[in-house]
Amino acid sequence: MGPFLRLSAMLLTLALPWAALAGTPAPQQRYDFQVLREGSPIGHHRVVVRSEGARSEVEIDIELRVKAAGFLTLYRYLHTSREVWDGDRLVSLHSTTDNDGRQEYLNVEAGPDGLKVDGSRYRGTLPADTMPTSYWRPDFVRRATIMDSQNGRPLDLVIRPQQYELASAARDDVPAQRYELSGDVELKLWYGRDGRWVKTAFKARDGSQIEYLLQ
């Protein structure tokens, strides 16, 4: 299919309000997820969005460690990223990742011809409306081109919207719509009625279940 996202025709009948998907971010948003592996905590995924007018600056910090006997690290994943947005368009993105010893990076700058991408797995130009896999923006589910925020690689994905259901969070269950991603990335995303990202779930390479619990 190439690097373009095939959206199901079901997307035209989403219950998630379009106003929420396209709305202007609040002055500050924070997403603080506890990450669980088979029900046990292994780290955090935090996103802080600071907005002034149409401009948004986003700081992302992920730290995951799978340990044995409480001290021996079997796997680690460390990721930091900074995004700058002008409305619904990405202006720049800079990230570094330590994926269990494998180093990856991504530097993106908007230009007159689109996004100039210099990443550890892709270098070139992508469309101006390309969306990174940082997931905090609910309009992620309707973008035509998606790139891996670790390394810039354009992703071949299918996103299928599912029904509304209760998604578990730290304090209470939250009504949210589930989306199932398949292709280069296999995971599930949940967004609340207000467009807020509330949950993620996927299977790790070893088959273990990973879940994000919103704090």
Secondary structure (DSSP) of 119-173:
ESS-EEEE-TT-EETT--SGGGGG-SBEE-TTT--B--EEEEEEEEEEEE-SSSE
Q: What is the pLDDT of residue 26?
A: 59
- Average pLDDT in the 42-47 region? 98
Give the pLDDT confidence of 121-152 residue by residue, as tens digits. 999 999 999 999 999 999 999 999 999 999 99
Share above pLDDT 90 across residues of the chain, in percent, rounded to a whole number: 80
Gap between the Cα atoms of 210 and 35, Å rounded: 7
Q: What is the pLDDT of residue 71?
A: 77
Residue with tokens 């509330």: 198
Longest Cα separation, the chain = 53
User: Confidence band (pLDDT; 50, 70, 90) for 196?
Assistant: very high
Global confidence as pTM? 0.85
- Characterize the bridge pairing of strands 123-126 and 114-119: antiparallel
Gap between the Cα atoms of 191 and 36, Å rounded: 19
Give domain limits for the chain.
Answer: 6-214
Q: What is the pLDDT of residue 28?
A: 86
Q: Is the pLDDT of residue 18 over 60?
A: no
The gap from C-alpha 154 to its chain's centroid, in whole angstroms, comes to: 14
Residues ≥6 apart with Cβ < 8 Å to 16: 138, 161, 177, 191, 193, 195
Gap between the Cα atoms of 148 and 146, Å rounded: 7
Gap between the Cα atoms of 192 and 187, Å rounded: 17
- Average pLDDT in the 104-125 region? 98
Q: Give me the residues paired with residue 146 across strands.
A: 131
- Average pLDDT in the 18-25 region? 42
Give the pLDDT confidence of 149-187 residue by residue, as tens digits. 999 999 999 999 999 999 988 778 989 999 999 999 999
Higher-confidence position of 26 and 203: 203
User: Confidence band (pLDDT; 50, 70, 90) for 4?
Assistant: very low
Report long-range pairs for 113-120 (Cβ below 8 Å, ≥24 apart): 115/90, 117/147, 117/152, 118/152, 119/147, 119/148, 119/150, 119/151, 119/152, 119/153, 120/150, 120/151, 120/152
Q: What is the pLDDT of residue 75?
A: 94
Q: Is the pLDDT of residue 53 over 60?
A: yes
User: Is residue 134 within 8 Å of residue 47, measured between CB atoms?
Assistant: yes
How does the average pLDDT of the chain come out, rounded?
A: 88
User: Confidence band (pLDDT; 50, 70, 90) for 11?
Assistant: very low
User: Confidence band (pLDDT; 50, 70, 90) for 1?
Assistant: very low
Higher-confidence position of 101 and 17: 101
Question: From the CB of residue 108, how many other CB atoms can be counted at a distance below 10 Å?
Answer: 23
Q: What is the pLDDT of residue 92?
A: 98
